[in-house]
Amino acid sequence: MSVATPARTPHSDVPTGRKPVTGHVGAGLFDPKQLLRSFPDAVHKLDPRAMVRSPVMFVVLVGSVLTTVFAVLDPTDWFGWAIAAWLWLTTIFANLAEAVAEGRGKAQADTLRKARTDTVARRLDPAGAEERVAGTDLRIGDLVVCEAGDVIPGDGDVVEGVASVDESAITGESAPVIRESGGDRSAVTGGTKVLSDRIVVRITTKPGETFIDRMISLVEGAARQKTPNEIALNILLASLTIVFLLAVVTLQPFATYAGAPQSMIVLIALLVCLIPTTIGALLSAIGIAGMDRLVQRNVLAMSGRAVEAAGDVSTLLLDKTGTITLGNRRAAEFVPVRGVTAAELADAAQLSSLADETPEGRSVVVLAKERYGLRERHQGELSHAGWVPFTAQTRMSGVDVDGRKVRKGAAGSVAAWVREQGGTVAGDADGIADGIAAAGGTPLLVAVHDAGGARVLGVVHLKDVVKDGMRERFAELRRMGIRTVMITGDNPLTAKAIAEEAGVDDYLAEATPEDKMALIKREQAGGGLVAMTGDGTNDAPALAQADVGVAMNTGTSAAKEAGNMVDLDSDPTKLIEIVGIGKQLLITRGALTTFSIANDVAKYFAIIPAMFAVVYPGLDKLNIMQLSSPESAILSAVVFNALIIVALVPLALRGVRYRPTSADRMLRRNLGIYGLGGLAAPFIGIKLIDLLISLIPGIG
């Protein structure tokens, strides 16, 4: 996944083979049982110290208290008691929306707590001797030994050995994974279990700050900070609340002058119905639910800010191998130079690949067997041979046997080897290699040094296949206004061919960590937000610089610390889903804000005519719903104001469906559905409630 050097070898980019899984802690969507379980928490949230964080709902709470006091002073006033009761229900329903969202997080946290166990660690002292200590006594930098059957006592990096690890408690993936020292698969998580072999782990976190501890804290919502967009919306709602509060306060002198003074209960009811209570009640639940949807997909967001930023991303950086392509390049063709037969090239390529245990090397052996009928040979059959294994330094593999030397590897390395042996490179070898690279493949030269001297026999064409549906997904991102950039260590010719086949907007070839950082800074300098994935230590600077940095769980601790999201499935393509979830969060917030403000306009037509129709009969023309009485009109509006919050809880938790489209079309759609819907719903709902109230003897 990560790019260690500008010139990536054909064999160096081997994927982990992990498959994405469904979220193991994902809660189902809204259901009535969740309301019942969350109701006690909603009542506990009536504490004014908690309510004051939402100015809109704090005003409703104060109004509930005042109407209750006035109702107590006049116990025979059924209208006062009814208004007081429904204002309290409005406040509780608002808390219920947040309690349901938090309740889902608590259920997820309970699942995670099962993975957190108090373990005994086998710590190594400076002399190398083992001592048994409690896992809570470990400190950063301690070395611990873990063998088959041991639970890893804390987060850290493998510094010695290789082992198979069961991470199902964290990721939900039943298949074990390999963790080894060095490279990008060295990070281990406390609470996971070693299945085989022995490793030495260097602890990288303090007790209580492990990955599982942070996950529990985050999914419970304790560390969820308000995002800039959410803070701005809260300021807007607070401003509207102040404006309507002043309007209602100044209304009473005018009403008294007109000879129609209003009771405090009516004025409080008017205030509650005019301020944007619907979005004020659901705002926190929308934010929590956005993070919850990520957790359901096995993505841990370190903050709500990261989720929101994902919705505003303008540039997406995607690694080629394993993300855009399948990752395991396979031999597709043997292309001999002039004067050499394809069978001769296939025989030499197979022989030189017997010591190459990479997927590419294995595919060469298989292709030679299947296409040219060559028997699959093994190293054991050539015990007298001198094997040359592939290394990142030589970028070649081969064998010295029966008086000849055979080599296969990167074009530059093999060509240099031929010249060192006193031979020459065939004139058409470079042209064949360039043609393969231009077509998006990877060329491997095959050469031999025998009695005829050193010479190149031909080229093996390795092909990395673009995943199905990638072009369509990139086209979808383009409709969302997101620019996609493919990051690869391949040469520019190969990168260009793959980019054209996949349909990405741009590419960065022979990428180094510095190149990635420079690209991100350029995009951000233009006012854009950038998202990227990474798993290696050398990805950490870019992950930290990106607005949305998604670190793979299989990656190093440095990468996970640098990013603001961690994908527990280590699936790089999930970045596309994350962007969709971020946009869904922003759209849901915008849609419900539109609905809430439209609601207020409609409720205005229910209450204002009812307040002054007796003094100004002409206002009865505004009573377009033909409500039965002033008391019924006001009470119906208050009841509707409370019930609409409960009705919208499922939508706030599930999110408004997102369709990739332009901003203009999205705005028109939201205004059409949630704007007009917000205007129409109160007229229908308030009228139905009024009809029911009018049937009650002594009220209608």
**Is 395 part of any known ligand binding site?**
yes
The candidate with the shortest Cα–Cα distance to 25, out of 345, 316, 292, is 292
Rounded CA separation 372/341 (Å): 11
**Is 397 part of any known ligand binding site?**
yes
- Please, are residues 193 and 149 in contact by the beta-carbon 8 Å criterion? yes
pLDDT at 110: 61
**Is 334 part of any known ligand binding site?**
no
**Is 225 part of any known ligand binding site?**
no
HSE value, Cβ hemisphere, 13 Å, CA-based, for 661: 13
Annotated active-site residue 184? The verdict is no
Residue where one domain finishes, among candidates 568, 589, 624: 568
Q: In sequence order, what are the beta bridge partners of 194?
A: 165
Supply angle C-alpha 238, 239, 244, rounded to 5: 100
Q: b/e string for 311-327 if b means 16 or more Cβ within 10 A?
A: bbbbbbbbbbbbbbbbb
Report the amino acid identity of residue 216. I
111 inside domain: no
- Please, are residues 429 and 337 in contact by the beta-carbon 8 Å criterion? yes
Q: In sequence order, what are the beta bridge partners of 449?
A: 405, 454
- CATH number of residue 198's parent domain: 2.70.150.10
**Is 390 part of any known ligand binding site?**
yes
- Do 124 and 200 sit in the same domain of this protein? yes
Helices (H), 387-454: 411-420, 427-438
337 inside domain: yes
- Do 602 and 683 sit in the same domain of this protein? yes
- Please, are residues 1 and 556 in contact by the beta-carbon 8 Å criterion? no
**Is 368 part of any known ligand binding site?**
no
- Do 170 and 139 sit in the same domain of this protein? yes
406 inside domain: yes
The candidate with the shortest Cα–Cα distance to 193, out of 146, 157, 142, 134, is 146
Total structural domains in the chain?
4
Residue where one domain finishes, among candidates 173, 204, 235: 204
**Residues of the chain falling short of pLDDT 70:** 1-35, 101-118, 168-175, 183-184, 208-228, 303-304, 321-322, 326-328, 374-383, 392-393, 440, 536-538, 613, 660-663, 697-700
Q: In sequence order, what are the beta bridge partners of 409?
A: 396, 445
pLDDT at 423: 87
Strand-pair category, 187-188 with 156-166: antiparallel
- Do 456 and 477 sit in the same domain of this protein? no
pTM for this predicted structure: 0.63
Rounded CA separation 78/201 (Å): 70
- CATH number of residue 549's parent domain: 3.40.50.1000
Provide the token pair at 137: 């006594």
- Please, are residues 517 and 542 in contact by the beta-carbon 8 Å criterion? yes
Residue length of the chain: 700
**Is 393 part of any known ligand binding site?**
yes
- Do 94 and 241 sit in the same domain of this protein? yes
- Do 488 and 543 sit in the same domain of this protein? yes
- Do 485 and 521 sit in the same domain of this protein? yes
pLDDT at 82: 92
Q: Within 10 Å of residue 52's Cβ, how many Cβ atoms?
A: 11
Non-local CB neighbours of 380 within 8 Å, separated by 6+ positions: none
**Is 392 part of any known ligand binding site?**
yes
110 inside domain: no
- Please, are residues 155 and 186 in contact by the beta-carbon 8 Å criterion? no
The candidate with the shortest Cα–Cα distance to 214, out of 192, 190, 230, 186, is 190
- Do 98 and 242 sit in the same domain of this protein? yes
Residue where one domain finishes, among candidates 464, 495, 526: 464
Q: Which of 157, 319, 347, 600 is catalytic?
A: 319
Task: Give the H/E segment covering residue 385.
Answer: none
Q: Within 10 Å of residue 57's Cβ, how many Cβ atoms?
A: 27
The separation between CA 63 and the C-alpha centre of its own chain, rounded to angstroms, equals 40
Rounded CA separation 142/557 (Å): 15
- Please, are residues 70 and 80 in contact by the beta-carbon 8 Å criterion? yes
- CATH number of residue 376's parent domain: 3.40.1110.10
pLDDT at 72: 93
pLDDT at 698: 59
483-487 sheet: strands from edge to edge? 299-301, 565-567, 548-552, 530-534, 315-319, 483-487, 506-508
25 inside domain: no
212 inside domain: no
Task: Give the H/E segment covering residue 364.
Answer: helix 359-372
Range of the domain at 282: 32-105+219-293+581-695
Rounded CA separation 539/3 (Å): 8
330-336 sheet: strands from edge to edge? 330-336, 453-463, 442-450, 404-410, 396-401, 386-388
- Do 200 and 236 sit in the same domain of this protein? no
5 inside domain: no
The separation between CA 289 and the C-alpha centre of its own chain, rounded to angstroms, equals 13
- Do 224 and 271 sit in the same domain of this protein? yes
DSSP conformation letters of 269-326:
HHHHHHS-HHHHHHHHHHHHHHHHHHHHTTEEES-HHHHHHHHT--EEEEETBTTTB-
Rounded CA separation 28/488 (Å): 39
The candidate with the shortest Cα–Cα distance to 398, out of 376, 383, 379, 374, is 379
- Do 435 and 528 sit in the same domain of this protein? no
263 inside domain: yes
- Do 368 and 317 sit in the same domain of this protein? no
Rounded CA separation 562/546 (Å): 10
**Is 34 part of any known ligand binding site?**
no
